[in-house]
Amino acid sequence: MGHEIRPFRIDIPQPDLDELHDRLSRARLPRQLPGEGWERGVPVAWLAETARYWREGYDWRRAEARLNGFPQFTTEIDGQELHFLHVRSAEPGALPVLLTHGWPNSFVEFAELIGRLTDPRAHGGDPAAACHVVVPSVPGFAFSAPPRGTGWTTARVGRMWAGLMDRLGYDRYGVQGGDLGAYIAPEVAAAAPGHVAGVYVLGGLGFPTEEDVPEMTGEERAAYEWLQGQDWMNGVDHHALLRAAPQTFAYGWQDSPVAALAWMAQKFHEFNASGKPLDEVIDRDLFLTNVSLYWFTGTWASSSWPMYDTPGGLGWPRGQKAVPTGVYSGMPAFRRLAERHNTIVHWPADNPEGHHFVAMDRPDALAADMRAFFAKVR
């Protein structure tokens, strides 16, 4: 195979789709436990209605056609079959930018963002800020092969991403990432500092720990206390769960689409800081496209390697000082702490907040802020 780059199209066999619908129709739902809203987990009424819509209203073939509207490819890097999107802008002088998705997400995370970056003119932006966009599927996610052994690290993936950009002929480019991508994106700069123009992170840099409390200002301490009360800090500890027994839990997610839907809904709910219901923040079809992609590719377990393969756990992202860094959301993190490990050149205080996966929630705001950052470093 060598360095061959092969075109790729998603084409889920009809029997797989029929089986999903059959399993959804035969789901055994539990009784609703006492409690308000989501405090005991995903409410039975919400799950039953969403599962019904997944079976009867959601159109996978329509979603599949939309995803196939993005040029997709596969290639082998570091012994791994890698799936990626490569969407070139028609604007001259476009800056190549590599986007890295989070967990439990996929390249679907950027479905609303890509066009806003490649064709800013069509979205009210400056065409001079256009980007070519590359979106790899992290190993073990979607159509990228799962790691063949233990010991995988975000640094190894960062080296793969640098190799991919080199293979595509890009000498200078930007990188972006949030969630898991916030760990991987800085590693690309560490692997190829002479080629990376800047690292843009959606959030995670400068998050305080107990060790930082004694030196905090009053304002910082208040923000830290607010942070400790958030759902995404106190919900299901997926890091501990997937570090301990990912194989065990994957049986339920692999065998039952309702169990898989509940798990994904639990995490997307906990990652929702908007104060609004999940269905009002992230389009239901987009959410179900991500769930469907996990279901059809059977990647519930293989996508959990960052948790079980990282000694001592992931902790908060630290970043790097090889190239300039920009951050979309600074609160409740502290720039002062982030600057210990990063050269921060972009840290807006007024970007609209919302869901953790901001590219799915506020693609216009994210695209505008990314253009502002890369204009400083390109």
Domains and CATH numbers, the chain: 47-377 (3.40.50.1820)
Return the amino acid letter for 227: L
**What sign does the dihedral 346-350-351-353 (CA atoms) show?**
positive
For the entire predicted model, the pTM comes to: 0.95
- Catalytic entry in 173, 200, 224, 308: 308
Q: What SS3 class is residue 161?
A: helix
In terms of Cα–Cα distance, which of 173, 209, 167 is closest to 188? 173
List average pLDDT for each run of 10 residues in the chain, which is 378 residues long. Answer: 88 98 97 92 97 98 98 96 98 97 98 97 93 98 95 95 98 97 97 98 86 82 76 77 93 97 96 90 98 98 92 82 93 83 94 92 96 95
Residue 92: CB partners within 8 Å, gap ≥ 6?
Answer: none
State pLDDT tens for residues 120-149. 999 988 999 999 999 999 999 999 999 988
Per the annotation, the verdict on 308 as an active-site residue is: yes
Q: How far apart are alpha carbons 286 and 363 in whole angstroms?
A: 13
Output the pLDDT for position 218: 79
pLDDT digits (tens, 9 = 90+) for 25-84: 999 999 999 988 999 999 999 999 999 999 999 999 999 999 999 999 999 999 999 999
The predicted structure's pLDDT at residue 151: 87
**Active-site entry in 58, 83, 101, 179:** 179
pLDDT at 163: 98
Transcribe 198-259 into DSSP letters: EEEESS-TT---GGGGGG--HHHHHHHHHHHTSHHHHS--HHHHHHH-HHHHHHHHHH-HHH
Q: Could you tell me the CA-to-CA distances from 343 to 63, 176, 270 in Å, in that order?
A: 40, 15, 30
